[in-house]
Structure 1
């Protein structure tokens, strides 16, 4: 084989290997253009917390909501008894999807979501002294069995990707009337989620098989 032929063959192989890499960064659906918000995650014992974010209300100063997807991988139910923000004296109010304040139950092998239509919420008022947009803020989740679990989610306003998941407690359900119209509060197609780095925190509570 001549030197020129070997050089030509090597150049062809290199060109073929580089082409797929170049394609990843080009076009309207390029991977580099698929930007998603950073979210915090951690796990302790049977509890896994994913996609944790603190969402503020851009319309008024003060309130903020802690949103996250919480998985219970254990054989028995656990309760989320408290959420706290170090340095903030104001308590975080836990409210169930039924509008009742108090601890939230994560069923065995199941999951709940904090934040979003039809889901439980964790809202704190008068938080602007500590919680500021763009910061990374320490948050402590307290569970009945796993104890305290800490992580540091990013603080973002309830805009764009997070629109609709700001600091507002879910309304208590009301009895339907013959003239009532509209869809149920539980978002369709958001049940049966399993733990993954891409799981959305904005989904209804469900129990994995």
Structure 2
């Protein structure tokens, strides 16, 4: 009996892996986005399913810049759902939603899905990424849908490295001000030298131009 149970368990496990592989292949270009990873949040409320939810920050821990929310939203209902807003409860962070193409609301079509995050997909951008929390923590994300209402679940906060590299913020931090200040100082000091030379009689530039004219004439 125990031997039969072991064989049954192995067969069930193989079936699960086969279905997962076929699902990934049928997903096309978004197969990587649709992979269900054990550390990604997922939930289902009424006809809405949310999978692969993460908050992705800058690749460097001390970098300034935006963060993004990555998720896949499924609508198994007969009516389209509009994502009216996304918030991070307990923080002052604001999330800007944009559809994949054009302007307007972020719509999850009836019987369809929407991928948030990654190239050519819809986006949910947190302007000040630090307000989302620290890497390694879990932050509650609240989605407000036009038909289903509010759905809240916890999202892991991860940097845009490794698996999440292609789904992270598109706007990277600008160079540090100290670097740009020192660079701008160098041309400034150089520009003072010609200024000092220009305080001498204005005939000097004319004299320097004369040999050039003579050389041109010689040619």
TM-score by length of 2: 0.58
Say if 2:67 is the partner of 1:38: no
Deviation readout 1:106-129 (Å, 9 max, x if unpaired): 110000000011100001011314
Secondary structure class of the residue paired with 2:53: strand
Secondary structure of 1:75's counterpart equals: coil
The equivalent of 2:161 in structure 1 is 159
Cα separation, 1, equivalents of 2:102 and 2:125: 13
User: SS in structure 2 opposite 1:128?
Assistant: helix
Q: What is the alpha-carbon distance in structure 2 between the residues aligned to residue 121 and residue 84 of structure 1? A: 14
Q: 1:77 to 1:129 in 2, by over 3 A?
A: closer
For 2:92 and 2:131, the matched residues in 1 are separated by 10
RMSD (Å) for aligned C-alpha atoms: 2.5
- 1:120 maps to which of 119, 122, 129: 122
Whole-angstrom distance in 2 between the partners of 1:114 and 1:49: 11
TM-score, normalised to structure 1's length? 0.60
Q: CA deviation digits over 1:128-158, x for unaligned, max 9?
A: 1442110011000000010000000111001
**Structure number having the greater helix percentage:** 2
Larger Cα-atom Rg: 2
What is the deviation of 1:88? 2.1
SS of alignment partner, residue 129 of structure 2: coil
Evaluate the alpha carbon distance shift between residue 131 and residue 103 of structure 1 in structure 2; reply closer, same or farther with a 3 A threshold.
Answer: farther
Distance 1:78-1:129 versus aligned 2 partners, 3 A rule: closer
Counterpart in the other structure of 2:74: 71
Correspondence for 1:148: 150
Q: Which has the higher contact order (CA 8 A, sep 6+)?
A: 1
Distance 1:80 1:69, change over 3 A: same
Aligned to 1:139: 141
Partner of 1:105 in structure 2? 107
Q: Could you tell me which residue of structure 2 aligns to residue 193 of structure 1?
A: none
Unaligned runs of at least 5 residues, structure 1: 1-12, 22-35, 170-209
* 8 Å CA contact 2:57, 2:129 repeated in 1: no
Match of 1:47 in 2: 48
* Shift of residue 161, structure 1, vs aligned partner: 0.5
- Distance in 2 (alpha carbons) for counterparts of 1:37 and 1:156: 14
SS where residue 163 of structure 2 aligns?
Answer: helix
Gapped regions of structure 2 (runs ≥ 5) = 11-36, 172-219
Query: For residues 67 and 42 of structure 2, what CA distance do their matches in structure 1 show?
Result: 19
